[in-house]
């Protein structure tokens, strides 16, 4: 006979920096309960089948698989999203991109584009906050397009359309009031690609050339053809890339350029406005 408290005490995840949280999330999922249930009922008996499911989850986590992929879901903004190994896992720091977009474009009616949408996290968060916005979410990976559409349907956000497009390739002659993107920005030789959760995430959504800026260069160069006058471009990037991104924006005619820090004090989002 096994009780909740014993499973929580004995579970070991020595390689995880968030071991306690991981264990609680995995056990709650195995039981079909909330994390608060674990604390409220620590003496409840855990059935054999649930204990086996939990053991399987733990072993996958010990092998380094992210909790989000094990459970198939991840919270972002105020939303619960389905996730899968062909898309990046939405991360809390990307919420800064959502905050800045909402702040820079306080319009009730607007056309907004999310490039490389993955799970749809950014597009769906924006649409959930601005019912009058028409948000277009694009991705070049068919599985990501299908996943983002499933999330859209489950969240019942009718003001989002999900399309297949490699950046702007399927958006000929379309213009937007705001374009936002969390593109690949990691250099190909970055040693962090072989460690932690990113080992399990798709390299195509992480790596962008020798310096990590190939996709950002392409987006910035093409964005003026798809922005309305006064439109904004907001880009997430690496912690040490802000100065380069600002230079690229200036080169392509953007103004009111600035970089914003995340909660860790790193400049992680850079934005600019096309005034003509």
Give alpha helix (H) positions in 190-241: 214-222
**Phi-psi category of residue 163: left, alpha or beta, with phi > 0 → left and psi -120 to 50 → alpha:** beta
Whether the CB-CB separation of 270 and 242 falls below 8 Å is answered with: yes
Domains recognised in the chain with CATH numbers: 2-63 (1.10.8.10), 78-274 (3.40.50.150)
Of 154, 78, 158, 146, which Cα lies nearest the Cα of 117?
Answer: 146
**Interaxial angle between packed helices 95-104 and 121-129, expressed in degrees from 0 to 180 and rounded to the nearest 10:** 40
pLDDT of residue 106: 78
* Strand-strand pairing, 2-3 and 45-46: antiparallel
pLDDT of residue 154: 97
Q: What is the mean pLDDT of each run of 10 residues along the chain (276 residues)?
A: 84 84 94 91 90 93 92 94 93 94 88 97 97 97 97 98 97 96 88 72 82 95 96 96 97 97 91 91
Q: What is the 3-state secondary structure (H, E, C) of 82-150?
A: ECCCCCCCCCHHHHHHHHHHHHHCCCCCEEEEEECCCCCHHHHHHHHHCCCEEEEEEECCHHHHHHHHH
């Amino acid at each position: 006979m096994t009780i909740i408290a014993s499973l929580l005490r004995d579970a070991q995840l020595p390689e995880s920096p968030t071991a306690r949280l991981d264990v609680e999330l995995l056990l709650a999922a195995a039981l079909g309960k909330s994390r608060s249930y674990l604390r409220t009922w620590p003496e409840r008996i855990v059935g054999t089948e649930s204990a086996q499911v939990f053991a399987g989850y733990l072993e996958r986590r010990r092998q380094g698989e992210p909790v989000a992929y094990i459970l198939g879901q991840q919270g972002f903004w105020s939303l619960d999203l389905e996730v899968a190994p062909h898309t990046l896992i939405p991360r809390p720091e990307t919420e800064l991109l959502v905050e800045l977009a909402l702040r820079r474009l306080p319009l009730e009616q607007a056309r907004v584009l999310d490039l490389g949408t993955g799970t749809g996290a950014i597009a769906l968060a924006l649409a959930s906050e601005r019912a009058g916005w028409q948000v277009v979410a694009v991705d070049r990976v068919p599985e990501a397009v299908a996943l983002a559409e499933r999330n859209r349907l489950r969240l019942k956000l009718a003001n989002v359309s999900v399309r297949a497009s490699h950046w702007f390739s399927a958006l000929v002659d379309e213009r937007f009031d705001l374009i936002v993107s969390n593109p690949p920005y990691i250099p190909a030789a970055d040693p962090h690609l072989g460690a932690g959760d990113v080992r399990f995430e798709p390299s195509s959504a992480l790596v962008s050339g020798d310096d990590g800026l190939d996709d950002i260069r392409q987006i910035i160069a093409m964005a003026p053809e798809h922005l309305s006058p006064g439109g904004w471009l907001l880009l997430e990037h690496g912690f040490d890339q802000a100065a380069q991104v600002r230079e690229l924006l200036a080169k392509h005619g953007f103004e009111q350029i600035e970089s914003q820090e995340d909660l860790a004090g790193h400049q992680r989002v850079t934005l600019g406005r096309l005034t003509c």
